[in-house]
Amino acid sequence: MKIHKISGKIDEKQIQKLVGRKELFDRRIADKVRLVIEDVRKSGDKALIDYTEKFDGVSLDPASIRVSDKEIDDAYGKVDAGVVDAIRKAAKHIKSFYERIYIQPGCLKDLNGAIAEDRIRPLKSVGIYVPGGRFPYPSTVLMNAIPAKAAGVKEIVMCSPPRTDGGIDPAVLVAASEVGVDKVFKAGGAQAIAAMAYGTETVTKVDKITGPGNIYVTMAKREVFGIVGIDMLAGPSEVLIIADETAPPEFIAQDMKAQAEHDPDALAVLVTTSQALAEKTGSMADGKNMMAFVVGSLDDAVRIANILAPEHLEIMTKDNDRLAGEITEAGAIFIGQYTPTAVGDYYAGPNHTLPTGGTARFSSPLSVYDFVKRTSVIRYTADALNDVSGTVSKLAEIEGLVEHLKSIKIRVDKG
């Protein structure tokens, strides 16, 4: 693990350069993805079946694209009872968190009778993408479907790439069943995103797509944004750990290795006031994209954290609460030696779908807020319009919008 000694004023450009995050956009992959999306848009199920055979090595027909009720029932018999119990306990705990989040509508009533309202409604349909790969990801199902349900979404569909045996991992199907996913489809990659964005003869068209995936999935979500909503464009996972001499180096090293387990490009950064801690941690965790910054003070550590705006931020110091209060840019903050990111990944309640690559500067974790939409409702009486007519008319006049001005005048003159 490379250790950087930082002294003097914290230089943002220097820190960003040393961390060396990769650019999320890949033009070559984006071009390939665009062709897949267009093919699925035009050819529907046929294209979906062709790409599933090409990329996943699985032969499907229109009848087998959707996971049957029998396949879901059979999944329970293929999953260890302890796993089913863990899924149920985690789902219950996460659900209890999101059901406590209240989305407050706004309403302004003027004395002259004018009413302006912010009306909130749940989305009608949402598509969840659950990656395949080496391991199953039932936690992804929980973290995407539960807040959607809590928001009142009427229909939740899910796409996940089939395994070589033609099915979806049983633990993923159990999770989908437990949280009330309405339809599950055997589709992965860019073709799955296209299917949910445009709809096929079998796959339901949705209003918004959420869930993580590889670079092909990310580029596909970028491409269909505007046709549907998306949660975010997620890059490699990352953790930044602020620690002083009181922190156990073995805890830090293990959390850095846990982050590296997500992705070959995952980033793990230690920012500490202790050279000795950095060296001890480095002797236990020395993987790709792992590094440490040794700084003069914990305040400097906070400055670096706010510059990098990490996805996960852990704090293990003698002054945890003060430092946590000064963090303004982070996806999720984990406070204290006994709060590893893993507890947030699976159980704590707040979502593990978090902004990466510094986007925590302007975006937030997935939540119920991502599954609702707002509509403005405005109601004016004749008296209310008369009261504001001069102001509105003057602004319309200065912008050169004559017909806007006339739409006010015709009503005032009549009144």
- The vertex-179 CA angle with 173 and 180, nearest 5°, equals 85
State the pairing for strand pair 238-243/229-230.
Answer: unpaired
Can 352 be counted among the known catalytic residues? no
Q: Look up residue 371 and give its two tokens.
A: 């599954």
Separation CA 18–CA 293 (nearest Å)? 10
Note the residue count of the chain. 415
Can 4 be counted among the known catalytic residues? no
State the pairing for strand pair 125-129/155-160.
Answer: parallel
CA distances from 214 to 26, 132, 169, 359 (A): 12, 10, 18, 18
Catalytic residue, candidates 223, 312, 314, 352: 312
Which candidate, 404, 409, 406, 255, places its Cα nearest to that of 338?
A: 255
**Who's near 339: CB < 8 A, 6+ residues apart?**
314
Separation CA 350–CA 204 (nearest Å)? 28
Which candidate, 168, 336, 163, places its Cα nearest to that of 252?
A: 336
Sheet with 229-230: list strands edge to edge.
Answer: 183-186, 155-160, 125-129, 208-210, 229-230
Catalytic residue, candidates 223, 311, 314, 352: 311
CA distances from 235 to 20, 173, 210, 277 (A): 13, 26, 14, 29
Q: Which residues are catalytic?
A: 311-312
